[in-house]
Chains A and B, each alone.
Chain A
Amino acid sequence: MKILVPISKVPDTTAKIAFTDGNTKFATDNVTFILNPTDEWYALVRALEIVEKEGGTVTVIHQGAAESEQFIRKALAIGATDAVRIDAEATDAYQVAHNIFEYAKDKSFDLVITGKETIDYNGTQIGGMIAEMMDIPYVTLASKLDIENGKAIVARDIEGGKEIVEIPLPCVIAAQKGMAEQRIPNMKGIMGARTKSLTVVASAGEALTTISSFELAPQKTACKMLSPDDMDELVRLLHEEAKVI
């Protein structure tokens, strides 16, 4: 089993969000970056579990400048076999997906597993885009993935529940909670990561969109406090003032 796992780095959820250059750029000063949680905890760990059972390799691929190699090394420390870095800043999802496709297209991966979304741009796009470029099946919001008789058995979210589907390999899966449990890299993994192969490739992808500006979400006005003994008043306000019931 040859598995490719695209990984992204994102600002930590608790990071303060601010913009510079006339609100056109995300201010990265003093922001702590982390490996995107759904990529690290769910996509990568499930990929490792599958090759531990079936044999094979897990390649992680990341688009970003040289500074982001620390995140790639972390993925290698957790257990990935080798890594690829696409040497360019990410501009939009299409560009990143295109670069990953260009790398992957002649390497006969059986599976591509991504996280369901990055916690910065919240797109849920990369997996579906790679799947269409490769013209192979795709399942997103996947909370379970097993390989049986050369097919992928996947649980995915639907409104109000789950659906279990079977799709042939090769395919692309976007993983979310339920898929696996976070693994903390151990000392042996961290030492081993230093000598694992990290290939750098050039970017050929083009962007189809650009962010023209950012705005912070409007601040909430002060919360109106109500007496716990007067729920009639709450209902009245929800009806007459907020007009939501």
Chain B
Amino acid sequence: MSVIVYIESNENRVKKTSIEAAFYAAETAKLLGTEAIAIALGSHDAAELEKLGNVGISKVLHDSNVKFDQFDTRAITKAIVAASTSVNADVVVISYNQNGKAIAPRVSVRMKAGMVAGATALPYTSAGFTVRKNVFSGKAMANVQILTEKKVIALTPNTLQKVVGVNTSTIEAFSTGVSDADFTTVIKSVEKVTGTVSLTEAELVVSGGRGMKGPENWGAIEELANEMGAATACSRPVADVHWRPHHEHVGQTGFTIRPNLYIAAGISGAIQHLAGVNGSKVIVVINTDLEAPFFKAADYGVNGDALVVLPKLVEAYKKFKSASH
């Protein structure tokens, strides 16, 4: 028996969401008294893969077939299941990021393994095998019991505080046996904003709503995000009128995020917006209206004009940063 985790890299770095999933797999393996193994497909940097030892991975299986760089859900599923079978894995851990959402349900079917979609805690194994997840857009949690011997856990990003050690994992060349004919997806183009922190992986997020009045006022949000190493987000109406790009839109119809800190400026806090951000550990709300519903979901509130408050916050943060260095 073992626990296996699917690892992805982006621009030669192992994705943060994958490192978190690897840590989750290692902790689950400890609970089950077994080891955690990783499967990496396509192009990866070997030194980066070795570093997975730091979060408790003993061995990385690597199929370096570059065809895997084209994200083909069917081929990748076959490869993950082939690796799982070869190491006799009972539990497969996959980060439920954009790619994981496409892969994990397929792996569940191929292994006939019960799946938890969006785990938010480690499994309880004292009676059966139960994993917690959020339901009803974060308004409640469900404890999902997996009834099958094989299990797929799709982990909600930013769920665990990982503990990092100093170990290296061994890397083993591995052939998943996936043939060229299994790849049917062709990537035509990629439109990507580079050089900024990706929203779903971000620990800190600064977000703006209609109360920001217009796209010309986003300077303070961008400056604060820049200073903090945070990602930027927005409410839906802001994306709908193209003040900000759609990939920044959070909420029921946008992204669901769980950063450590979510700063909301000029956002009313409608239930559909909260659905995407109520998993944030700490919420700061800046709003001129003391009655704005967002204050009820906030940890810290500032009742004031965001256009005035944000520049002050930027200054205060800069002062804090220079004092702590």
Minimum CB–CB distance for B253 against chain A, Å: 5
User: Do A177 and B254 touch (CB < 8 A)?
Assistant: yes
With known contacts A123-B118, A164-B187, A225–B301 Cβ distance under 8 A: yes
| Residues of the A chain whose Cβ atoms lie less than 8 Å from the Cβ of B133 | 122
| Residues of the B chain whose Cβ atoms lie less than 8 Å from the Cβ of A164 | 187-191
Minimum CB–CB distance for B261 against chain A, Å: 4
With known contacts A94-B114, A162-B190, A232-B316, A137–B300 Cβ distance under 8 A: no
**Number of residues from B at the complex interface, CB < 8 A:** 103
Minimum CB–CB distance for A117 against chain B, Å: 9
| Residues of the B chain whose Cβ atoms lie less than 8 Å from the Cβ of A210 | 144-145, 147
**Chain B window 75-89, contacts with chain A (Cβ cutoff 8 Å), 1 for yes, 0 for no:** 001000000000000
**Given the complex of chains A and B, what is the CA–CA distance between A19 and B140 in angstroms?**
10
User: Do B105 and A168 touch (CB < 8 A)?
Assistant: no
* Cβ of A199 under 8 Å from chain B: no
With known contacts A209-B146, A211-B144, A224-B300, A124–B253 Cβ distance under 8 A: no
Within 8 A of A (CB), among B263-281: 271-272, 275, 278, 281
* Cβ of A6 under 8 Å from chain B: no
Contact of B193 among A92, A153, A160, A214 (CB under 8 A): A160
Q: Closest chain B residue to A208 by CB distance?
A: B114
User: Do A234 and B313 touch (CB < 8 A)?
Assistant: yes
* Cβ of A239 under 8 Å from chain B: yes
List 23 contacting pairs A-B, 8 Å CB cutoff, sorted by A.
Answer: A17-B139, A17-B140, A93-B105, A119-B252, A121-B117, A121-B142, A125-B105, A132-B109, A137-B72, A139-B73, A164-B189, A166-B188, A209-B115, A210-B147, A217-B139, A220-B299, A221-B299, A226-B300, A228-B308, A228-B312, A231-B309, A232-B319, A242-B299
* Cβ of B125 under 8 Å from chain A: no
**Given the complex of chains A and B, what is the CA–CA distance between A153 and B256 in angstroms?**
25
Q: Point out which of A128, A133, A176, A227 has the most chain B C-beta atoms below 10 A from its C-beta.
A: A128
* Cβ of B185 under 8 Å from chain A: yes
**Chain A window 124-146, contacts with chain B (Cβ cutoff 8 Å), 1 for yes, 0 for no:** 11111101110111111101000
**Chain B window 185-200, contacts with chain A (Cβ cutoff 8 Å), 1 for yes, 0 for no:** 1111111111010111
Minimum CB–CB distance for A64 against chain B, Å: 18
* Cβ of A187 under 8 Å from chain B: no
* Cβ of A14 under 8 Å from chain B: yes
**Given the complex of chains A and B, what is the CA–CA distance between A215 and B130 in angstroms?**
14
| Residues of the B chain whose Cβ atoms lie less than 8 Å from the Cβ of A97 | 105, 109
**Given the complex of chains A and B, what is the CA–CA distance between A210 and B115 in angstroms?**
10
Contact of A37 among B97, B142, B191, B253 (CB under 8 A): B253
With known contacts A119-B252, A121-B135, A129–B148 Cβ distance under 8 A: no
With known contacts A137-B185, A159-B97, A238-B284, A132–B308 Cβ distance under 8 A: no
| Residues of the B chain whose Cβ atoms lie less than 8 Å from the Cβ of A123 | 117-118
* Cβ of B171 under 8 Å from chain A: no
User: Do B118 and A128 touch (CB < 8 A)?
Assistant: no
With known contacts A93-B105, A94-B108, A159–B299 Cβ distance under 8 A: no
| Residues of the A chain whose Cβ atoms lie less than 8 Å from the Cβ of B281 | 242, 244
Minimum CB–CB distance for B23 against chain A, Å: 19
- Which of B44-52, B54-62, B207-215, B290-298 is near enough to bind chain A? B290-298
* Cβ of A29 under 8 Å from chain B: no
| Residues of the A chain whose Cβ atoms lie less than 8 Å from the Cβ of B145 | 209-212
Taking residues whose C-beta sits less than 8 angstroms from the other chain, chain A's interface range is 35 or more
| Residues of the B chain whose Cβ atoms lie less than 8 Å from the Cβ of A209 | 114-116, 144-147
Q: Point out which of A14, A164, A207 has the most chain B C-beta atoms below 10 A from its C-beta.
A: A164
User: Do A234 and B302 touch (CB < 8 A)?
Assistant: yes
* Cβ of B102 under 8 Å from chain A: yes
| Residues of the B chain whose Cβ atoms lie less than 8 Å from the Cβ of A85 | none
9 tightest A-B CB contacts, nearest first: A228-B304, A128-B105, A208-B114, A161-B192, A231-B316, A132-B109, A132-B106, A123-B117, A159-B198
**Chain A window 193-218, contacts with chain B (Cβ cutoff 8 Å), 1 for yes, 0 for no:** 00000000000000111111111110
Within 8 A of B (CB), among A136-189: 136-141, 143, 153, 156-168, 176-178
User: Do A153 and B188 touch (CB < 8 A)?
Assistant: yes
User: Do B187 and A231 touch (CB < 8 A)?
Assistant: no
User: Do B316 and A138 touch (CB < 8 A)?
Assistant: no
User: Do B98 and A137 touch (CB < 8 A)?
Assistant: no
**Given the complex of chains A and B, what is the CA–CA distance between A94 and B151 in angstroms?**
13
